[in-house]
Amino acid sequence: MARSVIFLTTPTSATGSMFRSLSIIGQPRYRPLAWVADFWNKDRMEAIRSEVPPPTDHLVKHNAPERFNTSTRLRDYRFILNTRDPRDLLCNQFHWQFVHPMLGEAPEQEAQRRQRNREAGIDQWVLEQDFRPLLQGFLNVARKIAPPDRIFIGYAKYCLDFDEVTARAAAFLDCPLEALPAERRAELESERVENLPGNSNWIGQFWSGSDTAPGRHRLELRPETISILTQRYAVYLDFLRRMDDPRMAHLYD
């Protein structure tokens, strides 16, 4: 038996693709488990705070770090960490909330919320949000994991250097890419950024707000908005500069 691997990630574009890639690489040694989605579908999101994933033989997608069970014995698991620039994350979530339902929201409330946010625009919306509790939840876990028990892949690196990311993930999972049968190799290739337009599983096939490269905040936000967000999320951006590949560090300026 192998210790389960928790794919701990903030909710944003590419998490679905990353999890599919990791699942392709890790099977049959690790069984994929959409941990948070199971709770969402049962309307039991708060229960995540008191539950723990299976400790062996699973690859667990945990994309609600703010609800991570603080009583979890981290040494019982290994971790693949993923997140992205919080300024990009905010842009991503602005577009996402127009197509994603909110728990407990009636259809009339949903329509009113979307119209209100559409009229306000992206700059006002991102400034009104505070993602620090979500991001702090991620940091609180990431900082406590023993270095041998975790790797950081990151949204930016996944988009810009797919081959290196998948090779590192395969080494961490002890599932050599060379051993992948041709069919699974083709499935993995379909997750490469350049191949996503032909991938029927890609979220961008049915959601126009999805993106495939770091830095969208520089294209979508006013400079004064970026300046405010850079100061607000300075601690998190510093964490990313230190945790991510040094070649990605400039993206977090």
Supply 219's token pair.
Answer: 């294209």
Tens-digit pLDDT string for the chain (253 aa): 899 999 999 987 788 899 999 999 999 999 999 999 999 889 899 999 999 999 999 999 999 999 999 999 999 999 999 999 999 999 988 988 887 767 677 888 877 878 888 888 999 999 999 999 989 999 999 999 999 999 999 999 999 999 999 999 999 999 999 999 999 999 999 988 887 767 666 665 556 667 778 999 999 999 999 999 999 999 999 999 999 999 999 999 9
pLDDT at site 199 = 64
| Alpha helices, H only, 174-245 | 182-189, 216-220, 223-232, 234-243
Supply 137's token pair.
Answer: 């939840």
Query: What span, in angstroms and rounded, lies between the C-alpha atoms of 159 and 15?
Result: 11
Domains of the chain: 5-85+132-209+236-252 (3.40.50)
Closest CA to 88 of 191, 195, 221: 221
Residue 154 falls in which region: left (phi positive, over 0), alpha (psi -120 to 50) or beta: left
pTM of the model: 0.90
Beta-bridged to residue 9, according to DSSP, are 82
Q: Give the alpha-carbon dihedral of 147, 151, 154, 160, to 10 degrees.
A: 130
Question: Are the C-beta atoms of 172 and 21 separated by less than 8 Å?
Answer: no
The number of residues in the chain equals 253
pLDDT at site 205 = 57
DSSP 197: G
Supply 73's token pair.
Answer: 């014995």
